[in-house]
Amino acid sequence: MEKRSTKASSNDPKHKHDPDDEDFYLNNDDDEYDDDEDDDNDYDDYMDDTDDLEYTSSNASKYDPTPSVEIFTSQNSTVTPNSSYASTSLKNLSQSTTNQPDLSKSLTKRNIELDEEFKYEVLSPDKIVQYMTECIADVNSVLELTPTITRTLLHHFKWDKEKLMERFYDGDQDRLFREAHIVSPFRPNTYKRTTSSQSTRSSRLKEFCCEICFMQYTEDNMSGLECGHKFCKPCWREYLTTKIMDEGMGQTISCAAHKCDILVDDTSVMTLLQDPIVKIKYQHLITNSFVECNRLMRWCPAPNCSNAIKAQYFDAQPVKCDCGHVFCFSCGELWHDPVKCKWLKKWIKKCDDDSETSNWIAANTKECPKCQVTIEKNGGCNHMICKNQACRSEFCWVCLGPWEPHGSSWYNCNRFNEDDAKKARDAQEKSRHALQRYLHYCNRYMNHHQSLKLEQKLTASIREKMEEMQQHNMSWIEVQFLRKAVEVLCQCRQTLMYTYAFAFYLKRNNHSIIFEDNQADLEIAVEKLSGYLEREITSDNAVETKQKVQDKYRYCEQRRKVLLDHVHEGYDKDYWEYQEDL
Amino acid sequence: MVSIATARIKREFKEVVTSDELTKCKIKLELLNDNFTELKGEIGGPPDTPYEGGTYQLEIKIPETYPFNPPKVRFLTKIWHPNISSVTGAICLDILKDQWAAAMTLRTVLLSLQALLATPEPDDPQDAVVANQYKTNNKIFVKTARHWTNIYAGSTLAAEPEFDSKVKQLIDMGFDNHKSRVALSSHLWNVEHAIESLYN
């Protein structure tokens, strides 16, 4: 039900990262229900759910795991359904209502003209669990297994239901269970644990030796999985705690016995563990692997936000979390139009190379060749196994090639190579020259980055000015242009910032020259607008100033659109050539 | 309260020390401090291998979370083996890393290490130079390993006198004893190549 479109977000000048501003909207929205641009549904939703709003908006950004303690047994969620949608609807509503009528009309029009829609939902932690339970129940309605087995199977297929179904019904089921490290529930199990009600008095009194601590225990105190390996409960508890708390394992904890790869199930974990902190961490890890393995989901990267975004298909599109953070669904960075994820990642890595931390990262880490996660090697041999639950690729630390052929042809990553050393020296010469070029782009990128950071300060000072102007002869609605101007300014700065990352990798051709002209034009206009906002707002010549600022921000907006459209057109028509080797 | 780690090491220690079977395999264990966190292990080179006759000292450190995490083991005695670093003594063995299971003991670790000496895994090397030699020039590998056993692990079995003379040749040129041996070992006992690498 949550509908948003690419352009609505990328052009929507109401984008905010500042949580304070959310309040700002909320406080003021009473004044402006005279909105006719917005979708009726949103409005209805808003009316239906008004009561829940306060609850959601205050809780949306906090991870409160308590309601999910029983996640794996119960499907009830304590959060009122739709409340998270409602709060976003409200934001949408209030955002568009604060637009000046002419502007919002043009925005809406643009959306209709330009867009296929990118649909997504914001899921709170409870919703994530609920969604996971739904996925499991959905599959289970066909497979009819226990939820924990289904969950493990689904995880094995990276939460691709179709793939699981296909393998389950077409392939060798025993093999499937073996691959997923589960004891097949269909196989008559010789080890089947005897429940205490079945066990006779004598066997209950019989003592067993726990192979972990070597202590004697009665059967009541021993426990094990379907595989039949039994250990005493205190050892199990300790084992699970170590795995969960120290090694951060959730999905992939196996039986404690040597060479037994049967995975622990949720019920066992929940009954064996006592410490609620460990239990919560376990659930958190399970949810985490659910989100991370799922291509159509991504955590909101904002600090202290525990929401996730669920999209209908995978694409580099802007998404806005309930916490107000707008980011790219594909890479998780701030929304970075016009530059593409791949180049942005390269660029950010390059920029970061300057700091001490990144020096350390460069010296001590490499990236997994498959999933690009950063890896530190802290000992052992060169046979690396990626710890990223969704990847687990095996590669050689030295050459980063797949591990497989190393058995026979690892000779290539042998010791230091003279030729390579010479090449490295030549490369250094070249890089001196490249550095000059890099600094040119980096300085400009950082400049906008820095200005963006000062956004909060500017917002505050503008708010003061707005108050001041209202003291004089202007109405509330008449001073709204100032906030709009700040938003346009920030948006333009963000775009400009990323144009430098884009331009850095661009090969020079006719279109790149047009692009640079557009960039320069926007930059000049933005600096002027910035100047107006910082200096020339006084209540004396309010009407004149308003006209000037409005003209300028409209011009900026227009230039920004021209620039982005040109880049997008270039993507469609292959104007852009890149310098891969930078 | 006595931690699980301490309680277990105590029992394991007793088990290893008193087991006849283990004495037969030339496996020993010694405590280095009173709180059972540092031990010294010793394994004999298995028969019919280049390591036969040698005695290998091992450094064993018990983490607080033992037995839920593996002990940290490293060779103190220098050894020429594809899965053991000839420089640091670090070991590449799955059970000391992700294949560790809480139900395993120091006894199983020491036995596994002994088995590793008998059956190297050159496809999962710790020391690429040694592993390469093992695969491409096995004869020289066996000789080199035997030579190292002789020099560092106190074996009295047949040495390689020609190797000794080559090492001496380099020592006479002013190079360090061990460094010379490493250089020669890494370069298939080709004196010229070894000298070149030492100068670089």
Residue A230 and residue A311 in one domain: no
Is residue A21 in a domain?
A: yes
Task: Determine what percent of chain A is predicted with pLDDT higher than 70.
Answer: 67
Residue A174 and residue A107 in one domain: no
Is residue B104 in a domain?
A: yes
Is residue A149 in a domain?
A: no
Residue A568 and residue A451 in one domain: yes
Q: In the predicted model, is pLDDT for residue B1 greater than 80?
A: no
Task: Determine what percent of chain B is predicted with pLDDT higher than 90.
Answer: 33
Q: Looking at residue B81, which CATH number applies to its domain?
A: 3.10.110.10
Residue B175 and residue B157 in one domain: yes
* Confidence at A419, pLDDT banded by 50, 70, 90: low
Per-residue pLDDT, A515? 92
Is residue B43 in a domain?
A: yes
Q: Which of A21-25, A29-33, A212-216, A424-428 has the highest mean pLDDT?
A: A212-216
Q: In the predicted model, is pLDDT for residue A88 greater than 50?
A: no
Chain B residue numbers with beta carbons less than 8 Å from the beta carbon of A385 are 98
Nearest to B128 among A243, A385, A414 (CB): A414
How many structural domains comprise chain B? 2
Count of helices and strands (H, E) across chain A? 21, 13
Which tokens belong to A380? 């052992």
Q: Does B178 touch chain A (CB under 8 A)?
A: no
Q: Does B11 touch chain A (CB under 8 A)?
A: yes
Strand partners, B55: B44
Question: Do residue A235 and residue B4 have CB atoms under 8 angstroms apart?
Answer: yes
Residue B178 and residue B79 in one domain: no
Q: In the predicted model, is pLDDT for residue A64 greater than 50?
A: no
How many structural domains comprise chain A? 4
Per-residue pLDDT, A327? 92
DSSP annotation of A391 reads: T
Residue B145 and residue B111 in one domain: no
Q: Looking at residue A452, which CATH number applies to its domain?
A: 1.20.120.1750
Give the total residue count for chain B.
Answer: 200
Is residue A428 in a domain?
A: no
> For residues A228 and A445, what is the distance between their CA atoms, to the nearest angstrom?
60
Residue B109 and residue B134 in one domain: no
Q: What is the SS3 assignment for B149?
A: helix
pLDDT in tens, A132-146: 999 999 998 888 888
Q: Where is the domain boundary, B90, B118, B146? A: B118
Residue A262 and residue A313 in one domain: no
Residue B163 and residue B103 in one domain: no
Per-residue pLDDT, A433? 63
Q: Which of A209, A255, A260, A381 is labelled catalytic?
A: A381
Residue A27 and residue A123 in one domain: yes
Question: Do residue B123 and residue A406 have CB atoms under 8 angstroms apart?
Answer: yes
Is residue A117 in a domain?
A: yes
Domain enclosing residue A359, as ranges: 341-420
Q: Does B187 touch chain A (CB under 8 A)?
A: no
Please confirm, yes or no, whether A391 is among the known catalytic residues: no
Is residue B123 in a domain?
A: no
Residue B135 and residue B72 in one domain: no
Burial A551-578 (b: 16+ CB within 10 A, else e): ebbbbbbebbbebbebbeebeeeebbee
Higher-pLDDT residue of A33 and B43 is B43
Nearest to B4 among A213, A259, A410 (CB): A213
Question: Do residue B67 and residue A229 have CB atoms under 8 angstroms apart?
Answer: no
Average pLDDT over residues A181-197: 62
Q: In the predicted model, is pLDDT for residue A44 greater than 50?
A: no
Higher-pLDDT residue of A55 and B171 is B171
Chain A residue numbers with beta carbons less than 8 Å from the beta carbon of B108 are 258
pLDDT in tens, A332-344: 888 998 999 989 9
Q: Where is the domain boundary, B118, B147, B164? A: B118
Q: Which residue of A has its CA nearest to B7?
A: A213
Q: In the predicted model, is pLDDT for residue A540 greater than 80?
A: no
Q: What is the ipTM of this complex?
A: 0.72
Is residue A138 in a domain?
A: no
Chain A residue numbers with beta carbons less than 8 Å from the beta carbon of B12 are 214
> Residues A300, A327: contact at Cβ < 8 Å?
yes
Per-residue pLDDT, A108? 36
* Confidence at A496, pLDDT banded by 50, 70, 90: very high
Say if strands B38-44 and A222-224 run parallel, antiparallel, or are unpaired.
unpaired
Average pLDDT over residues A530-559: 84
Average pLDDT over residues B88-96: 88
Q: Looking at residue A224, which CATH number applies to its domain?
A: 3.30.40.10
* Confidence at A374, pLDDT banded by 50, 70, 90: confident
Residue A64 and residue A95 in one domain: yes
> For residues A77 and A356, what is the distance between their CA atoms, to the nearest angstrom?
45
Which tokens belong to B98? 């992700």
Beta strands in A411-560 (DSSP E): none
Is residue A498 in a domain?
A: yes
Among A82-96, A217-231, A325-339, B86-100, the range scoring the smallest mean pLDDT is A82-96
Q: Which residue of B has its CA nearest to A210?
A: B103
Residue B99 and residue B40 in one domain: yes
Average pLDDT over residues A360-384: 71
Average pLDDT, chain A: 73
Domain enclosing residue B74, as ranges: 4-118
What lies within 8 Å, CB to CB, of A490 at 6+ separation is A15, A452, A455
> For residues B132 and A416, what is the distance between their CA atoms, to the nearest angstrom?
14
Q: In the predicted model, is pLDDT for residue B124 greater than 60?
A: yes
Per-residue pLDDT, A93? 36
Q: Which residue of A has its CA nearest to B85?
A: A381
* Confidence at A52, pLDDT banded by 50, 70, 90: very low
Residue B40 and residue B96 in one domain: yes
Q: Does A230 touch chain B (CB under 8 A)?
A: no
Q: What is the SS3 assignment for A207?
A: strand
Per-residue pLDDT, A203? 52
Which tokens belong to A62? 């906090």
Q: Which of A208, A209, A211, A212 to mutate to test the interface with B (most CBs of B within 10 A)?
A: A212
Residue B96 and residue B8 in one domain: yes
Residue A279 and residue A302 in one domain: no
pLDDT in tens, A278-315: 999 998 899 888 998 888 899 999 888 889 999 988 88
> For residues A298 and A328, what is the distance between their CA atoms, to the nearest angstrom?
10
Chain A residue numbers with beta carbons less than 8 Å from the beta carbon of B67 are 212
Chain B residue numbers with beta carbons less than 8 Å from the beta carbon of A413 are 128
Residue B31 and residue B110 in one domain: yes
Question: Do residue A211 and residue B103 have CB atoms under 8 angstroms apart?
Answer: yes
Q: In the predicted model, is pLDDT for residue A86 greater than 70?
A: no
Is residue A578 in a domain?
A: no
Is residue A144 in a domain?
A: no
